[in-house]
């Protein structure tokens, strides 16, 4: 990879060391340019007229996302964030009393709360797939659990918001397919970071966001839904974009995945998402994944050698999200210290509220999270380690 070019494309790296790519990564110039140009066009022409001028580019966003995850453009819906994309999929599934949802200990609270809501409203049952000794979903346990014909859905994140393992999603997908069970994949922390191929994974539905490892703008995301399922699935919400009003008594839902979208959208951000996907594809997802894993393993190694610091990620494959605890300091203090004065190093804090099952199981209240991207460098990691070494003792 041409790291110098990657950094030259990323104005933010001149100002700070950004290890919060799992929160929101620094946008590269092509993304910033397409969005600012579009906002200027809106100011000069009017919002609808500007979108009309960019109709071709807006259509291409679906093709770009399709290339990123190996899907057809008509299997993609562009939705304002991963949460709403996921919700549109989950709440549209015909889950009823006694239907079982299988999820992982690493599930995101934003997804787990909807499971609890449908447990309350529709009587579904939630079961947690145990982990194997390395900390990822146990495939033999999953296979066993899939033997119960009340299981209607497997739903989990490929990478948790608080790091940990990269789940074996191709194996999980194969088991779900063999059992005839739907697989909803939360790829929010995966897209842009690692290869995500819906054909290889065999997931039926996938939700993702723009602003994290894809390096797109905030307030954008997308949903993938397999074509044959899309045609059968009535969205939980409809409007005049997802459906057409034919008469005072009838409507027709559109055939493609855009039946899960709604009319109004941030057009500049949608173009920004498209530019971010194109940028990632130009860099090459596989080389970026290799570099992210290399930097993350360098960072884990350096952290492990710091007195009082314990890296916290498990799993046979680990991602760019590096988590650790510090014996002498809380995660908020670590975050504040690294950001402070002339250091300007962005890390963040993951609390048990966003991944409660996993944190409870590991007896953790919170972890510090330093999430690296391909544009980060070993020198930046060394600067963070040096800053941690200088952290005053309490």
Ligand X SMILES: Cc1ncc(COP(=O)(O)O)c(C=O)c1O
Query: Do 287 and 367 form a contact (C-beta atoms < 8 A)?
Result: no
Q: How many CB atoms neighbour CB 352 within 10 A?
A: 18
Nearest to 139 by CA among 182, 104, 180: 104
Contacting positions for ligand X (CB under 6 A): 81-83, 108, 110, 157, 160-161, 186, 188-189, 209, 221
Q: What is the DSSP string of 152-211?
A: EEEEEESEETTEEEEP-HHHHHHHHHHHT-EEEEE-TTTTTTS---HHHH--SEEEEESS
Query: Do 24 and 211 form a contact (C-beta atoms < 8 A)?
Result: yes
Least distance (Å) from ligand X to the CB of residue 17?
A: 21
Q: Which residue number, 161 or 325, has a Cβ lying nearer to ligand X? A: 161
Q: Which residue number, 309 or 347, has a Cβ lying nearer to ligand X? A: 347
Q: Which residue number, 9 or 186, has a Cβ lying nearer to ligand X? A: 186
Q: Which residue number, 209 or 242, has a Cβ lying nearer to ligand X? A: 209
In angstroms, what CA-CA distances link 108 with 88, 115, 160, 255? 16, 11, 7, 31
Least distance (Å) from ligand X to the CB of residue 84?
A: 7
Strand partners, 206: 185, 224
Least distance (Å) from ligand X to the CB of residue 159?
A: 7
Residues near 27 by beta carbon (within 8 Å), at least 6 away in sequence:
10, 12, 215, 216, 217, 272, 276
Q: Which residue number, 211 or 329, has a Cβ lying nearer to ligand X? A: 211
Least distance (Å) from ligand X to the CB of residue 183?
A: 16
Strand partners, 325: 310
Least distance (Å) from ligand X to the CB of residue 24?
A: 9
Q: Which residue number, 164 or 202, has a Cβ lying nearer to ligand X? A: 164
Least distance (Å) from ligand X to the CB of residue 236?
A: 17
Give the residue carrying structure tokens 């920004």. Answer: 272
Least distance (Å) from ligand X to the CB of residue 178?
A: 26
Q: What is the DSSP string of 337-357?
A: HHHTTTT-EE-EEEETTTSHH
Separation CA 188–CA 197 (nearest Å): 14
Q: Which residue number, 24 or 238, has a Cβ lying nearer to ligand X? A: 24
């Amino acid at each position: 990879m041409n790291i110098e070019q990657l950094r030259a494309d990323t104005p933010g790296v001149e100002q700070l060391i950004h290890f919060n790519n799992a929160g929101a990564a620094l946008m590269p110039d092509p993304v910033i340019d397409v969005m600012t140009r579009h906002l200027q066009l809106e100011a000069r022409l009017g919002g609808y007229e500007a979108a009309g001028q960019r109709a071709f580019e807006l259509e291409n966003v679906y093709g770009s996302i399709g290339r990123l995850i190996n899907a057809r453009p008509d299997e993609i819906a562009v939705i304002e964030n991963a949460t709403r994309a996921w919700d549109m999929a989950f709440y549209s599934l015909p889950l009823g009393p006694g239907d079982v949802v299988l999820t992982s200990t690493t599930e995101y609270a934003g997804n787990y709360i909807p499971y609890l809501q449908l447990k309350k409203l529709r009587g579904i049952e939630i079961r947690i797939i145990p982990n194997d000794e390395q900390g990822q979903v146990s495939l033999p346990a999953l296979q066993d659990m899939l033997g119960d014909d009340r299981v209607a859905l497997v739903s989990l994140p490929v990478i948790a918001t608080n790091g940990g393992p990269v789940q074996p999603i191709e194996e999980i997908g194969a088991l779900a397919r063999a059992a005839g069970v739907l697989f909803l994949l939360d790829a929010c922390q995966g897209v842009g970071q690692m290869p995500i191929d819906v054909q290889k994974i065999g997931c039926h539905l996938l939700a993702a966001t723009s602003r994290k490892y894809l390096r797109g703008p905030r307030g954008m995301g997308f949903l993938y839904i397999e074509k044959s399922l899309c045609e059968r699935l009535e969205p939980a919400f409809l409007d005049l974009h997802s459906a057409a009003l034919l008469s005072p008594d009838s409507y027709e839902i559109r055939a493609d995945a855009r039946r899960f979208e709604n009319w109004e959208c941030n057009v500049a951000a949608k173009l920004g998402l498209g530019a971010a996907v194109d940028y990632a594809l130009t860099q090459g997802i596989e080389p970026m994944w290799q570099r992210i894993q290399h930097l993350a393993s360098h960072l884990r190694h350096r952290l492990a050698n710091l007195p009082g610091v314990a890296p916290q990620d498990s799993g046979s494959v680990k991602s760019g999200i590096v988590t650790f605890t510090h014996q002498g300091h809380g995660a908020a203090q670590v975050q504040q210290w690294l950001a402070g004065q002339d250091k300007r190093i962005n890390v963040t804090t993951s609390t048990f509220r966003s991944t409660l099952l996993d944190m409870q199981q590991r007896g953790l209240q919170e972890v510090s999270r330093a999430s690296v991207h391909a544009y980060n460098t070993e020198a930046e990691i060394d600067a963070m380690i040096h800053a941690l070494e200088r952290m005053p003792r309490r």
